[in-house]
Every structure is written in structure tokens, then in C-alpha cells.
Structure 1
Amino acid sequence: MMEEIRPLRQEELDAAIDLSSYAFQFELPPEERKKRIRTMVPEETLGYFVEGKMASKLTVLPLRVFLNGESVPMGGVGGVATWPEYRRGGKVERLLHAALAQMKERGQNWSMLYPFSVPFYRKYGWELFADEKRYKIPRDKFPRLPEVPGRMEDASGNYELLNAVYRQWAVRYNGMLDRTESWWEHRVAGGRKPGRALVYRDASGQAQGYVIMQVRDRLAKVHELVALTEEAKRGIWKLLSDHDSMADWIEMTVTADDDQLDLLPEPRVDIGVTPYFMARIVDIVPALREYRFAPGPGAESAAIAVQDEHAPWNEGLYRLEWSAEGTLIAADRVGEPGQGETDGSLPRLKAGIAPLAAMLMGYRRPAALARQGRISGDPEAIELLERRLPVRPTGFVDFF
């Protein structure tokens, strides 16, 4: 039986949509299908073909995300699907292996995805890195806020303005997408976040925040609320409260660190927190070299044994050395994961690629992972990483 994994061709995009429609149970009208095909890039999707028929497929989107204040390349995995008659044969595993090799070749040292099953993707080295929080606020708990010095104005379709505000906010988080104008047009406004976009300008005319929202059936659904200042937050919330004649509820999705309920006189509303997106280190050495570590008391070194059975180029014992300023001076592979370090004097850590991703993203601290038994090592190595890994919130407010 002839089987192959390869990028799709233009004429195979219809078959990919058919598979996605069946697997994810949606239908596209003819015009929507044509529109979808116009935005698809065949080479971004890997197909698993059996006797010339597409059995499975996945897409790797060339994206960028913020990590410790820097925009870095990331491969966004999505659209993973298999026809039922081809399932349970390991095809998705082989596709994931091929995708990881492709991302490595393209310099995408990180990968992210939305999991249909967290245990399934953990098995292949992805780990949770961001939670989402949801509020549902009844009208009688809408805050009554005083006038603010600035003003709200419609910014629907003004992606340059919205993105300028978004980037100032998103760079504060690890994992947040560095959006392009095309992403705003097709994935935000034209995708999962329809409705009006309104920007808050302060008294000097500077845009300091925005909200994307839709009001329907007496529900004000807030897709995004971004505020760079407390004044902007209050200005946007005043706008939301002024919908009290149109909406009985406000629903919004926010990052896990959000504190906006502090504005409510009665903050006891429906709140839900759900683990959301997962991240993976694709290529450990360049990922470490582009990472911005924190300063320390002086030059420091450690040995880290990395386990990664699905991306074997990551397996190994690495010697890491940091300067006092936080620069990673060395990230050298010195042996196999089970070997001792060359001089036996370095504090040592042992970790799988998944918990390493959680640590570097800032989703979980080294001490917590050690306490849970997800990493192990010398106390000195744990303490060193606690010093060297910056404390920064994680977040992701997109989808693919």
C-alpha cells in the first residue's frame, strides 16, 4: 500500500475542506468555500495520502508570538483531522513528526495549538501555557462609573490603529500572537470576533484602549477588551454599562491575570477559568539562545538533561552558562540525557520537553514543577532557574 506525507497542492484544497467539514462538523456555503480557498496556502498543510487519497492532514501556520518582550517565529498547528476509516493507524503521530521536522527546518523554534485533548498532545511534547477566564455579569451588577476625560470612537476596520494598541498590550504577555493586518481582517474581524470595534482616546487624542463587542438578543458579548491605562479601562467599562437599555448580560473572555471585576461594586458574578492553548519547544538550542533570561548574582552554570522522544534532535545533556546580566553565554550539548556532566560539578536538572515549555513560557515555575515531580534535579539547579526565568504573565486571545 503506497503511503506518503507531503504538502498539499492547490487542487487538493477542496478535499482538505471536505475533511475538516466532516471532522469538525460544519458546512460552508459555496461562496464561503471559495473565500476560504482564496486565503489558504497549500504548502502550509501536510497531507497523509494512502493510495493517492487524503487520509489525514494538519496545517502549520507561520506565525509570530511575544516571548519576554521579543517577537519570535512560531508554527501554529491546526486543522488536525483524519477520516474515520483511517483512524487508529498512527497517521497523526507521523504527521506531527513531519510537522516538527518542517518547523525546525524553517526556524520556528516554538509551536502552539488548541488541543481537542490535553493528554493526547502532552504525549507529543506540547504543554498548556495559557488559561482563559470568562465573566457573565447581569445588568443589575453593571458598574456605574463617572465621566472620563477621554472619548470612545468607532474604529471598525481600522486595523492599523487597533493593532498599534494591541501590540503595546500583547507584548506584556508570553505567548500572545503578534498579529498581522491580514490576521485582523480574516481571523479577528472577519472570523471569530464579529461586531463593532471602538477605541478609547485620552484627552490628548492618544489611543489607549479598545473593545471589540457584539450586542444581540440582549447579550453584550465582549470579544476583546484591551486597556493600556486605568483611565482607558474605566472609559471602556462606562461604555459597556451604558448598554443597560440594550443588554441584560455582559459576557467577556479575558486573560487569567485579569482584574477588571475590581471595578464592580458587587464582583460576585459567574466566573470560569479553563486551560486553553498549548505550546511546545521545537528546537531547544536556538530556542534557548533567543530567550531573554533574567540577571543573576554573577556568572552561573547548570547541566540540563532534556528528554524528547518525538523530536530526537532535542534529546541530550546540555551545559548552560549565563552572564550576570542574563545573557546565555553557552548552550552546548555535552552528552546523552543519562550521562553525567563532564566535570561532575554543575548543578543538574532533568526534564521532559513539555515541562520545559511550561517553565520557559512562564506558565509554571521550576519550584512548582519540582514539587509536582514533573522535573527533578539538584536544589541548586531549581533555585538557579527560579532566578533566571523572568516572571511574566502568559496569555492567548486568538484561535487557529
Structure 2
Amino acid sequence: MEIRQLKAEEFEQHMELSSYAFQYKLNAEEIEQSRQLFKPERVWGVFEDGVLQAQLKLIPFQTYIQQQSMEMGGIAGVATWPENRRQGLVDQLLRHALQLMKQQGQSVSFLHPFYFPFYRKYGWELYTEYMQYTIPTALLPAKVQTDGYIKRGVRDLELLHSIYGQYASQYNGTLVRDIERWTNATLRSDDTRTAVYYANDGQAQGYILYTVLDKEMNISEIAYTTEEARRGLWTYISNHDSMVQHVKLKAPLDDGLPYLLQDPRIEQQKVPYFMARIVDVKAFLEQYPFEHGTTGQLTIEISDRVAEWNAGVWQIVWDADGHATVKQMESDEDVAQSANDVQVKADIRVWTAMLMGYKRPSELSRWEQLDGDEQAIQLLEKLIPRRGTHLMDFF
């Protein structure tokens, strides 16, 4: 068995395994489009005698965390032939990917799981959910008059990108997009329509991406930088009431839509979405923007059975600028001494959920997933900024 990156001439093997594992079929035109977008250096495979047995994609991304961008490794397309399952091939690929991400400075990783318990074994944890709304036209928000105006069909990627960046950076775990992402993923389909809200002074303040088909308006993305833009976009959506029977929308958990509706009895579903994992604890903590003005020191213990470089006892010191200095206790004498001083213990999954902002320290302590004294828990509550999670992309 050999683990290596794919070669350009191995595209057919890659597509054959992907289409079988994920149960889809492409026509000739779609296959050619996929070939043009194929980046073999991002696909790692397990080979036996030159034949691909299992694969995964490791995609370089950046993500917003506490309004700062961090390098992130996206795991996608994990697949193996059914006759090769339960032979440890995916295990080897995931462990290899973690080592690669650490080497490449990607201190955190995201993936969309086929099965949450499987990836929890490897240290990934749920970090974001979204609300799926289905709104009958009779219950859409009331139409209001705003000072601005809407333009349909805007494909100015720089303009959309600017609005997206302002909106997405309010959350932890959104992607820092580039123009390639807009072109090859977000707006890849010609069926995706756009509408942009402009203030009276001509400043673009919000947009929606959507489709209208078979009396359904499906909004794949909504972003805005002002309350005026939010109201203007929803008035535009409500103006489709003669064309559609209902509107579907994915939204962050804190969007407040039911409260803002005159009648909130709409279909609402909270959907678990992506998982995250801290790849390199030291690098992640030293990049993480903690709350300013709160200083402190903690000795923590992290368990991580897959990325052994994270496991052990760590001392963390925070300065007033929110910067952490992190030191691992490595010598037997230091470990023995610091073990008596450990104030908080948890698995890497728990640290990930907490530092991503998905769960608060006090919650995790109450559920006995974060083991620590009350003073230490309260220090973490002060140090970790309150910022929700969201992800508008899929990969």
C-alpha cells in the first residue's frame, strides 16, 4: 500500500470512485468540466499496485475565527471501495491528512460528515448548525418602504465579495472566500439568480442568491451589512408572492426571523452541519484572538488519541491584548509538577467546540465534558469572546 497525491492522468480513477461512493452520474460535458477543475495535488489516495483503493481531498482554505482569518484544511470526498472498507484505509488517510495540515500551518480543519460518530473518533466535533425555514407566501414579512433600491442580476464578484466579507466575518467558521471560490462554487450555476440592495447613496449593503422554480423560491444565501438592507431584501422576497407558494431559506441560528415575523408559526428545522477539529493546539491558541483586557494563566490537560502532538499538559498565559503564550510540559519533572496544577481537562473535541464558539465553557462544565474548578471555568468564560458560528458554503 502507498499513500500519495494523485496524478493528472489518474482523473478517471478518481471520478470512478467518487461517482460510485457518492452515487451520482455525470454526462460527458459535466465530466469535462470536472476534469478542468481537477487539482490532483489536493487529492490523496491509497494505492495498491497502482490502483486507487481510497481517497480524500485536502483543500487549503482560510476561515474567520473571532474576526481574524486562520489557515484551515478542508477535508472532502472521503471515499473507499466497499470491498476495502473496515481495512483501515480511511484511518490511514485521515492520520496522514492531520500530519500534513500541521506541517502546512493549517491549525484547524473542517469537514461535512457522512456519519458524525465516525469522525468524532478522530477528534472532529460538530461546530455549526443552520436553520432551514419554509415560509408560505401568506406568512412572509410585511413589505416596507426603504430609501434604497434593488438591482437584479448583479454578477459583480468584487461587489458581492465585499458584502460577503463584512457579513461572514461576524461569525466563527465561515470561509474567507476568494474570487475563484465565487466563480467555481458559489455562482457556478447559471440558474443562480442575484439581487443586490443599494442604499440611497448607491452603496451596496446586501444581497441574496436564489432560484425560482416550480412556484418555489429557494434562497441559498443572504448577506447584509445594515438593518435597512435586511428589510429591503425581505421586501423584495415578499414581492414574489404572486409567483411562488413558499420560500425556503438557510439561515444562521441567530438570524431572529421567527421573532420578526407577524406570525412565527412557520416550518423551522435546526440542521447539524459541519464539524471542526483543532489540528495543532499550540499554533491555534497562539493565533486565537482572546478577549482584550483580561489576563490570566491556566494549566490545562488535553487528550487527543489521534494527533498525539496535542496530547498532554499545557501552560497558557494571556496578556491584556488577548494574546496567549503556550508551553507544553515535556520533561517528566515538569509533567509531574504541572499535573498537580491542572485546572481544566477535556478531550480535543470539547476544546474545539468551545474555542469555535459553538458551546460555552459553563455549558460544557455543566454537562461534565469540561473538567475544571469554578475559577478556571469563569476565566475561560471571560477570555473566549461570545461569537456564534455559521457556514454558508459546502465542500
Shorter-chain TM-score bucket reads over 0.9
Superposition map of 1:302-341 within 5 A = 302-328=298-324, 330-335=325-330
Match of 2:362 among 356, 367, 391: 367
Runs of 4+ in 1 over 4 A off after TM superposition: 336-341, 343-347
Q: Is the 8 A contact 2:329 2:338 kept in 1?
A: no
State the match for 2:388 in structure 1: 393
State the alpha-carbon separation in 1 of the partners of residues 362 and 207 from structure 2. 37
Task: Look up the match of 2:100.
Answer: 102
| Amino acid of the structure 2 residue aligned with 1:358 | A
Query: CA–CA distance in 2 between the matches of 1:344 and 1:219?
Result: 59
Q: C-alpha distance in 2, partners of 1:243/1:345?
A: 65
- Please give the per-residue CA displacement for 1:193-221, whole angstroms capped at 9, x wherever unaligned: 94211110000111110011110000011
Could you tell me how far apart the structure 2 residues matched to 1:363 and 1:32 are?
Answer: 37
Query: What residue identity is the alignment partner of 1:216?
Result: L
Q: Does the CA contact (< 8 Å) of 2:301 and 2:342 recur in 1?
A: no
| Structure 1 residues 11 and 97, CA gap change in structure 2 (3 angstroms) | same
> Which whole-Å CA distance do the structure 1 matches of 2:322 and 2:59 have between them?
31
Separation in 1, partners of 2:142, 2:254: 23
Report if the CA contact (8 A) 2:126-2:353 is conserved: yes
Equivalent of 1:197 in 169, 194, 204: 194
User: Which aligned pairs between 1:83-98 and structure 2 lie closer than 5 A?
Assistant: 83-98=81-96
Which residue in the other structure is 2:160 paired with? 162
Q: By how many angstroms is 1:267 displaced?
A: 1.5
Unaligned runs of 5+ in 2: none
Superposed CA deviations along residues 95-132 of structure 1, whole A, max 9, x for unmatched, are 00000111111111110000111111111000111001
Asked if structure 2 preserves the Cα contact closer than 8 Å seen for 1:75 and 1:110, the reply is yes
TM-score, scaled relative to structure 2: 0.96
Question: Deviations along 1:305-331, whole A, 9 cap, x unmatched?
Answer: 111111111112100001133221x20
Q: For 2:243, which of 221, 243, 246 is the aligned residue?
A: 246
| 2:291 matched residue in structure 1 | 294
Pick closer, same or farther for the CA change 1:364–1:337 going to 2, 3 Å. Answer: farther
Moved more, 382-391 or 340-349: 340-349
Please provide the CA RMSD for this pair. Answer: 1.8
The match for 1:356 is: 351
Aligned length: 395
Q: Is the 8 A contact 2:211 2:217 kept in 1?
A: yes
Contiguous gaps of at least 5 residues in structure 1: none
| 1:184 corresponding residue in structure 2 | 182
The Cα offsets for residues 15-71 of structure 1, whole Å up to 9 and x where unpaired, read as 111111001110111111111121121111110112221110000110111001111
Normalised to the residue count of structure 1, the TM-score between the two structures is 0.95
Q: What is the CA distance between 1:380 and its match in structure 2? A: 2.0
Per-residue Cα deviation, 1:156-201 (whole angstroms, up to 9, x for no partner): 422111010000000000000111111111111115x942111100
| CA distance, structure 2, for counterparts of residue 352 and residue 382 of structure 1 | 15
Alignment of 1:1-400 (within 5 A): 3-190=1-188, 194-297=191-294, 299-328=295-324, 330-335=325-330, 342=337, 346=341, 348-400=343-395
SS at match of 1:149: coil
Contact preservation (8 Å) 2:287, 2:323: no
Residue type of the partner of 1:399?
F
SS at match of 1:98: helix
Q: Contact 1:318–1:335 (CA<8 Å) still a contact in 2?
A: no
